[in-house]
Amino acid sequence: MANRKKIIITLDGPASTGKSSIAKRLSNTLGYIHIDSGSMYRAATLFALRLDPERILRPNVFVKYLSEINIDFKKINEEQKIFLNNEDVSHEIRETYVTNEVSNVAKIPELRLLLVNKQKEFGKNKGIIMDGRDIGTIVFPNAECKFFLSAKVEVRAKRRYLEQSKQGINQTYKMVLDNLKMRDKLDTKRVNSPLKKAVDAIEIDVGNMTLDDAYEKLLTYIKNQIV
C-alpha cells in the first residue's frame, strides 16, 4: 500500500473503545504515522501533577508553565514511545493517578491550543492516523477519512477492567466504571472542543465486535479512500 496516495485518518470516540490499538495496527498496515493524542494530554497531566503533587494546581498557575512542556514521540525497538522533556514517560502516563486527573487538565483551553497546534504539525505531510476526542472536528476538520467509535459504557468498563486485571492493576469493576462515566461526562460537556462525532465521520458501534473485526471494518473503508 506504500505507493497509494497518503491521506489523514481520524479516529475519535470515548475512552476504552479500542481506538489506539486499532489505530496502531492500521498504521503498521498502511505504513502511516500513528499519534495517540490522548497520550499527549496524559503527558501534560503528568507534568502538572509533578509541579503540584498535592493536585491543587490551579489552571491559571499551570498555564504559566506551558512553554516548559515539550512532548515528542520516538520509535524504540519498533515501539512508539512518548517523551516529556526528553524523559520516556510511556509507562507512567497510564498510571491511575494520571488517568484520574487527565480530563480536568485536558479542558484547559491554553493547553488544548498548544497541543492541537502540535498535532496539526504532525499531520502536515499526511500519511497519518490520529486518535482522540476532537481530531475529526478540530484538529483535522478536512481529513479524508473520519471514524467515530462508540460502545456502551458498561461494555467499555468490562473490557478495561479485564485488561487492567491482566496487567496486575488493582481496581474493581465499579471503580473502572465510575472513572469512565466521570471522564465521559467531562469530555462531552466541556466548552472547549468537546468529544463529539464530526458530521462526516463514519460511526461504528464496536460493542459487539472484537478488535480484529473493528480493524478489518475500518481497513475496508480506508482502502476505498486511498485507491
Give 32 or 140: the residue with its C-beta nearer to ligand DC: 140
Reported in sequence order, the residue ranges of the chain that DSSP labels E, i.e. its strands, are 8-12, 33-36, 71-76, 79-84, 87-88, 128-132, 145-150, 202-205
- 140's grid cell: 483535522
Number of residues that bind ligand DC (CB under 6 A): 14
- Least Å distance between CB 39 and ligand DC? 6
User: Which segment (34-42, 158-166, 201-209, 214-222) binds ligand DC by CB under 6 A?
Assistant: 34-42
Is residue 49 near ligand DC by the rule CB under 6 A?
no
Give 152 or 223: the residue with its C-beta nearer to ligand DC: 152
- The residue from 132, 145, 147, 218 that contacts ligand DC (CB under 6 A) is 132
- Least Å distance between CB 94 and ligand DC? 8
Q: Return phi, psi of residue 147, to 5°.
A: -125, 150
Question: For residue 71, which of 40, 113, 38 has the smallest C-alpha distance?
Answer: 40
CA 2 to each of CA 30, 83, 135, 146: distance values in angstroms, whole numbers, following the listed order: 7, 28, 24, 20
Q: What is the tally of helices (H) and strands (E) in the chain?
A: 8, 8
User: Which segment (60-68, 131-139, 150-158, 210-218) binds ligand DC by CB under 6 A?
Assistant: 131-139
- Least Å distance between CB 118 and ligand DC? 11
- The residue from 102, 128, 180, 222 that contacts ligand DC (CB under 6 A) is 102
Give 163 or 223: the residue with its C-beta nearer to ligand DC: 163
Q: CB–CB of 45/101 below 8 Å?
A: yes
